[in-house]
């Protein structure tokens, strides 16, 4: 069985600001494209690898929010990511928590007002 989620889109109001936030916090290189009239910036994708990829998306149907689905980003060092996020003005919504064998999780607000989560597997 494969993972059921293959793509996600994170709503943004200022795509340049959101790109700067996600690239600065996570170290990703996003690629900007226009898809069906919507400005988007795509996260890296490794074909054939486990997990999903997605995009930042700006347009009339995209509204940043704390409500709705929460997307978890897998990170190698949750403390470093939290430090970079708060240095960029991110609010801590759920502080780092040890969840036992599952590792560590935390939730922050991105530059656009979305609730996003971080997950780190224990070393």
Q: List the domain range (segments joined by +) for residue 34.
A: 7-120
d(CA 94, CA 62): 24
Which residue stretches of 1-123 are H helix? 15-26, 78-87
pLDDT of 3 above 80: no
User: Each residue of 73-102: pLDDT tens digit?
Assistant: 999 999 999 999 999 999 999 999 999 999
Write down the pTM of the prediction. 0.93
Count structural domains, the chain.
Answer: 1
Say if 115 falls within a structural domain: yes
Query: What residues pair up with 39 in beta bridges, in sequence order?
Result: 34, 58
Whether 2 is in a domain gets the answer no
Q: Is 105 in contact with 74 (CB distance < 8 Å)?
A: no
13 part of a folded domain: yes
Mean pLDDT computed over 1-12 = 87
Q: If pLDDT is split at 50, 70 and 90, which confidence band does 105 have? A: very high
Q: Reply yes or no on whether the pLDDT at 1 is more than 70.
A: no
Tell me, what DSSP letter sits at residue 26?
H
């Amino acid at each position: 069985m494969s993972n059921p989620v293959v793509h996600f889109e994170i709503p943004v109001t200022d795509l340049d600001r959101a790109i700067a936030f996600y690239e600065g916090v996570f170290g990703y290189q996003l690629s900007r494209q226009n898809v069906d009239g919507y400005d988007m910036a795509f996260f890296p994708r490794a074909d054939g690898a486990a997990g999903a990829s997605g995009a930042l998306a700006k347009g009339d149907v995209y509204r940043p929010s704390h409500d709705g689905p929460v997307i978890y980003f897998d990170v190698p060092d949750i403390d470093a990511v939290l430090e970079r996020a708060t240095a960029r003005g991110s609010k801590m919504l759920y502080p780092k928590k040890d969840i036992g064998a599952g590792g560590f999780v935390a939730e922050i607000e991105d530059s656009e007002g979305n609730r996003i989560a971080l997950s780190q597997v224990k070393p």
